[in-house]
Amino acid sequence: VWVSTDHDEIENVAKQFGAQVHRRSSEASKDSSTSLDAIIEFLNYHNEVDIIGNIQATSPCLHPTDLQKVAEMIREEGYDSVFSVVRRHQFRWGEIQKGVREMTEPLNLNPAKRPRRQDWDGELYENGSFYFAKRHLIEMGYLQGGKMAYYEMRAEHSVDIDVDIDWPIAEQRVLRFGYFGKEKLKEIKLFVCNIDGCLTNGHIYVSGDQKEIISYDVKDAIGISLLKKSGIEVRLISERACSKQTLSSLKLDCKMEVSVPDKLAVVDEWRKEMGLCWKEVAYLGNEVSDEECLKKVGLSGVPADACAAAQKAVGYICKSNGGRGALREFAEHVFLLMEKVINSCQK
């Protein structure tokens, strides 16, 4: 896997995930540059490459099995180029243009015999997810040509981010239909949350009689309640010497440990006590002290205002800040993925 970029941060992220990096020239990095420009430049440095699979960053629901099948189509079935399509059931009409066409006309249907969606095969549209082609085609300036074939992707995996409105749709699709690695997701049995900066916003108020006062969002308390109702054990942890009396006044009814110098050791003890593997644990953290736990668990998350080290260690970054709904948001993420686990088991 190669990443072609002229951006230092993108290069660093690519290398963190094990990709090789081709530093793109300024000529191939203009706003007007095409994917083909970047691919041709790459091939100029790599004579050993015979087939290019161009994967679009704006299509985040790609699955490895699709790419493997397409590579086989070129290697074993003799195709020169294969590209991704999706089936759409949409009726198209001609555009009205003053002085040219005063009324619209149907383009792919007969209104007198209008079919039902389920009785119509639909049409195939390029979805922009990937383009595979042999070297000689690309050197001629083509991503598609020669003996061509399409690869029909499932509609739920067919995500293409073109305009701003596509972004929230893509986020939901990725959570529900994205690729989550080779290992199957397991049902979450233990949910651990760092108190400071996750359950709370990290602010501490001190009263005149030196009593500590903290605040939390009611949405997060509801999130804890929903987790517990679904059978998930919720526990709280802090490296700070929090007042247990103050925490108990929150009435969250959760087991908690404070003054914890090694959070990973405590969470590991909880895990063993419940007879769980790490894949059955979810952890919401926000600090460097949470980093090892975040890397170890099956599902990891941080609030939007978490430190950089914690953000790099996780699979999910909340839109909400700590103490402002992040716990509830991460709980919803857990529920969504658990629905995926249940559906896969039923299949």
Domains of the chain: 50-161 (3.90.550.10), 190-346 (3.40.50.1000)
pLDDT above 70 covers what percent of the chain?
Answer: 93
pLDDT confidence of 79, banded at 50, 70, 90? very high
Whether the model pTM is above 0.85: no
> What was the pLDDT predicted at 297?
93
pLDDT confidence of 203, banded at 50, 70, 90? confident
CB atoms within 10 A of CB 212: 14
Residue 145 has pLDDT above 70, yes or no: yes
Amino acid identity, position 61:
C
Q: Which residues are within 8 A (CB) of 254 and not within 5 positions of it... i.e. 6 or more apart?
A: 224, 234, 235, 236
Indicate left, alpha or beta for 56 from its phi (over 0: left) and psi (-120 to 50: alpha): beta
CA-closest candidate to residue 281, choices 343, 269, 16, 200:
269
Q: Which residues are within 8 A (CB) of 220 and not within 5 positions of it... i.e. 6 or more apart?
A: 199, 323, 325, 326, 327, 328
Residue 213 has pLDDT above 80, yes or no: no
Residues forming the active site = 114
Largest CA distance in the chain: 82
Higher pLDDT, 182 or 297: 297
Indicate left, alpha or beta for 339 from its phi (over 0: left) and psi (-120 to 50: alpha): alpha
Residue 343 has pLDDT above 70, yes or no: no
pLDDT tens per residue, range 238-257: 988 765 656 666 677 888 88
3 state DSSP class of 222 = helix
Distance between CA atoms of residues 329 and 341, nearest Å: 19
pLDDT tens per residue, range 117-143: 888 999 999 999 999 999 999 999 999
Distance between CA atoms of residues 295 and 19, nearest Å: 20
> What was the pLDDT predicted at 292?
94
Residue 346 has pLDDT above 60, yes or no: no
Amino acid identity, position 148:
M
Instruction: Tell me whether strands 205-206 and 233-237 are parallel, antiparallel or unpaired.
Output: unpaired
